[in-house]
Structure formats: C-alpha cells, structure tokens
Amino acid sequence: MERHDIAIIGGGIAGLTLSKFLAEYGMDFVLLEEHDGFFKKACGEGITPYIFGYNFFDIYESNAGIERRLNITNIHTRYGDLKLYMPVLMTDKEKIEGELARQARKRGADIRMGEKVKNIRRDGDEFLIEPQGIIAKLLVGADGFFSMVRKLAGIKQPDYAVGVETLVENIDMNRDEVHIEYRNDVIKYGYSWFFPKKEKWNVGIGSFKPHHFKEYFDKFKERIKAERWRGANIPISKPLKSYAKGIMLVGDAASHIISSIGAGNITSMICAKIAADAINKISRNGFNGNDTRIYAEMLKPVVKMMKRDYNFAFVANRIIKSEYIRYRIMKKVVEVNSEYYRKMEERV
Ligand SMILES: Cc1cc2nc3c(=O)[nH]c(=O)nc-3n(C[C@H](O)[C@H](O)[C@H](O)COP(=O)(O)OP(=O)(O)OC[C@H]3O[C@@H](n4cnc5c(N)ncnc54)[C@H](O)[C@@H]3O)c2cc1C
C-alpha cells in the first residue's frame, strides 16, 4: 500500500492551486485527476483578478495563459447598454491549469493524470482510495460539482445553474469589451456572454433556473453557429460546509463561487490557498484526530463575502420577475462597482 499524508481528488483550478501551495510547504501529498489533459470541463475562461481583497496574480504568480486584460463589460439590456468598469482577464484556461501544474511540480508535487478515483473508504482515521490503493490521513475534495468526497462527508449537493460554451471565430461586437446580454428575449433568469479572447470568442449562455434553459439554448444555437458546445452544472448555493472529520472541500465541490454570475475560478483559487494554509497548520500536530475545523475558521471572511453575493443573487436572479426592475438593480450594481474599481486603480 502507498501511504501519503494528504490525497487531493481532482485536478481542476482548485486542486492544482492547492497542490502548488502544499508543495511550497513541503507537504507529502498526491493529486489524482481522472483526465489525461487539463481544462476538460466547460468554462467561459474569464477571471476577475481583484476580488474580496485578493489579487489573482499573487496566487497565480505568472502571466502564462493570460490572453487579454479588458476593463469594460458592456451589459446589453432591453433598456439600453450599461458599461461596467471592472478589470477582467480573458484567459486560455488549459494553459492556466497547465501552468499551475508546472509550478506545483517544480516545487515537488506529485500530480497524477488519468487517475479516476472510483471509491473511497474510511478506515479509522485514514482513507483508502481505490483502485489506486492509496492510504491518506487527510482527504481533499477538489472534484467539482458532483464531488464524491462531498458525498463521503455526508454534505448535500448544492443548487445549480447550467451553462454551455463554445469557441467561435467571429462575432460582430466590439473586441475591446466583454459583452453580457441580460435580456429576457435571450434568456430568462440568466445571461449570455461573449468573451473576446486573443483570436477567438468564448461564447456561452447559462440559466439560474435550469428548467428554463433548453428553450432559450435552442434559440441561441440558431443565432450562434458552432460545431461543438460544452456544458456543465454550476453550483450557486451559499458556500457549503467545507469540512468533515479528516476531509476538506474546495472549489465547486463546496460551492466556492460568486453565485450572482456563476464565476468560480478566482474563488476556487482563493479558497485553495486558504486550504493550503489550513493544512499546514493541521500538519503541525501530525494530523492528529483529523480535526479540520480550523479550515472553516480560516475561510470565514471569504465565506462571508460569498454569502453576501449569494443573498443578492438569489433575489436578483431567481425571485424578481420584472425585467425593468432587474435592469434598475443592475444599473445600481454597475455604478457602485465601477466606482469601486476606478478608485482601486487610482490607489494601485
Ligand atoms: C459553462 C460555464 C462557464 C463558466 N464560466 C466561468 C467564467 O468565465 N469565469 C469563472 O470564474 N467561472 C466560470 N465558470 C465556473 C468555473 O468553471 C468553476 O467554478 C471552476 O472550474 C471550479 O473549479 P474546480 O477545480 O473546483 O472544479 P472543476 O473545474 O470541475 O475541476 C474538478 C476536477 O476534478 C476531476 N474529478 C472529478 N471527479 C474525479 C474523480 N473521481 N477522480 C479523479 N478526478 C476527478 C475532474 O476531472 C476535474 O478536472 C463556468 C462554469 C461553466 C459550467
């Protein structure tokens, strides 16, 4: 049997960020990812670099895979365009995940690709991971929306939105802006996005109420011709309880998300950094008693902000029916956030 202090299940942006920082701490761990390559799940590939007092670049420490930085998001509504001033990075997510793995491996991380975990059994204070035959003292679920680690911890699945995306060559829109369509004739209880990457566009559509989705997606597909669409569930609950005895959850597995827009790249990275710091503390007493509660303590400030966003999102995206009222709310959000980001830029 192969033994490690820590096993991470899932090598998406959360698991890879975690492994980078665990490797920096010199921890004994293994990461198991079922796919042979990176970025196998749908994503719009946009990243908000400054949020909740964190800076993406402090965590990522590279420019690899950053294709463009745009400052204006043009929100197209039935009542006119709203221009949000907020830095957004257009990325090549395959490269971002590859770069995180490279940094982690350089620091000594053991990242194993093509290793699907099929079963995990608790054995006293340890976990037996099958079919790999690995025994670990601490288990981290970075295994996305359908997390098997979360199930093992007895934590229920979050509510979800659905989204699909594709890459297209040409869109007749200003390439120097990010575009969001926030209109009931495009999709009710959701939005479509047009993200201008270096050469192509990442275009997608998502709904906070999945049963509304198909009808609008069919219409969207008539407008946007693409060979292949990729889709996935997006957690939109408040952050879930992210720990149990000997277990920690990070990223989509724990609904670590900005649920108002279904964006989880940066929050997964932030929570993964916090998870690494928590594991470093837990390791100091030899993982005794599998007590992971310190992780919840350390997550609290970020969880508070994700909860605040959730409360807003629940009302704005799922309760309010009037398109005009949603527009008025969005207008206010745009004003407040544009001012915040402009002031922040002045300070930098
Ligand atoms: C259509 C769409 C568009 C989106 N657009 C954006 C966006 O523009 N910006 C943004 O910030 N967020 C976006 N998101 C959300 C974002 O993609 C996720 O929040 C983020 O990817 C979460 O990262 P993660 O590592 O937690 O999970 P994932 O990226 O899902 O990674 C989980 C990993 O675990 C692996 N895994 C699962 N089970 C096992 C197993 N049993 N054994 C081994 N490996 C396993 C999977 O293969 C996967 O690689 C979008 C989501 C969707 C669906």
The CATH number of the domain where 38 resides is what? 3.50.50.60
What total number of domains does the chain contain? 1
CA 268 to ligand 1 centroid distance, Å? 9
N-to-C CA span, the chain: 52
Closest ligand 1 atom to Cα of 38: 49
Give the separation between CA 96 and CA 39, rounded to whole angstroms.
9
pLDDT at 286: 85
* Nearest protein Cα to ligand 1, atom 41: 117
Q: 5 CB under 6 A from ligand 1?
A: no
Mean pLDDT split into 10-residue runs, the chain, 348 residues: 96 98 98 98 97 96 98 98 97 98 98 98 95 97 98 97 96 98 95 97 96 94 96 97 97 96 97 98 84 96 97 88 93 96 82
Q: 260 CB under 6 A from ligand 1?
A: no
Is the overall model pTM greater than 0.95, yes or no?
A: yes
Q: How far is CA 38 from the centre of its chain?
A: 15
Closest ligand 1 atom to Cα of 39: 49
Q: 235 CB under 6 A from ligand 1?
A: no
pLDDT at 348: 65
Token pair, residue 183, equals 């209109």
* Nearest protein Cα to ligand 1, atom 50: 43
Q: 205 CB under 6 A from ligand 1?
A: no
Q: 11 CB under 6 A from ligand 1?
A: yes
* Nearest protein Cα to ligand 1, atom 26: 251
> From the CB of residue 13, how many other CB atoms can be counted at a distance below 10 Å?
29
CA 203 to ligand 1 centroid distance, Å? 17
Q: 15 CB under 6 A from ligand 1?
A: yes
Q: Are strands 201-207 and 111-112 parallel, antiparallel or unpaired?
A: unpaired
Determine the length of the chain: 348
Q: Which helix (H) or strand (E) holds 320?
A: none
Q: 99 CB under 6 A from ligand 1?
A: no
pLDDT at 316: 86
pLDDT at 285: 83
Handedness of CA 255, 258, 263, 268 (dihedral sign): negative
Give the separation between CA 161 and CA 150, rounded to whole angstroms.
19
Range of the domain at 170: 2-347
Give the separation between CA 104 and CA 20, rounded to whole angstroms.
4
